[in-house]
A and B are shown apart, each in its own frame.
Chain A
């Protein structure tokens, strides 16, 4: 009997029942609260983007793609965009250079800190050191900036001079004028220090979840501690490391005050990282906003839109990389 019904392909399927459920009042209220909270975050993000687009639109209409490729910043009469000339190329390139250098400087410290805290010290000391590290992440960036300007710069300029002396033949370490203050190198040192705590805290968390049975396997095969870490923990934690570093990159790209204090803004695209000239979109906005006329304000809004888009792209790329490498390490 049952076999015969299965063989009949044309038999009409019975209608599928839809899921019905009478939600009670408290569930409805909670749902409304949660939904509106989530929506609020998206609405704010959309409003910021809309605001920047609205204020910067005129600038893009006036200068077009040239706003991204030109490096002149001249407000002209200051009243209208006619006669003025705005371009963020130098600032954009400078932002990326400083952020990337900060990442390179921070990377070995992030790996070292994370491994040390997870695998080289006891529980009690770890708890103390972790809270100190978290505290470092909470230090306001103006403090980092002041310290970088007053304490680090006099020394770092000397280091830069030494690097220039021995590695000056490499194009990026060349300088035209022997002034090493307020260079992208020094800004990157400060930024690198700033992102170590936040990147380490993400990385350490992932390293701590490395499977113990695989670590045991590495030891039982005659592996040293470093061998076990290299064979198991580093591959396992790769996604965490990338995620942590990109979180740091997001912060480094948007950092304003610390860079403002330690970088000499120059409207010219330069790749000489030791020279006292660099660019940074966020610092540009902060330094110009106070005395900007109506037309420059519009240009600064447009620059803000560029920065906003760049950070969004980086974070978007970060989440793709993290999810992809997380799959690999499973």
Chain B
């Protein structure tokens, strides 16, 4: 069967369709270039999106007014943790009014699933999920955060005071 094809010079006019399609792109290009409307894209490393207060980032251990760690090492966060990433070693505090405090407090960030249960379980607002989320590193061991890092890392700028101070 003979199929009737369009004349070959028609091929020269495919640019027309192409340009037609390109107008959409062109429109957006011009609009964005001239900043005529707001762009949702953020220039990530230079600019960072504002996170909500409920954002679950890297954990923080809060402090008492005197600067010591708020955690009473009740182990409720460790109990609530579904990933078993928290390891606390309680110890006797020399001050009988404090009685119990964590001599070591470790969170394994690689195990953590950022569920925030620890924050929920804490009766004294001692552990919070912070705002930091950039924690790429070279070795696994550097993902185990200790007490000092959790409460006093530079990003915390001197630490966070717990809301429960009795």
A, B co-complexed = no
**Taking beta carbons and an 8 Å cutoff, which residues of B are in contact with A?**
none
**Taking beta carbons and an 8 Å cutoff, which residues of A are in contact with B?**
none
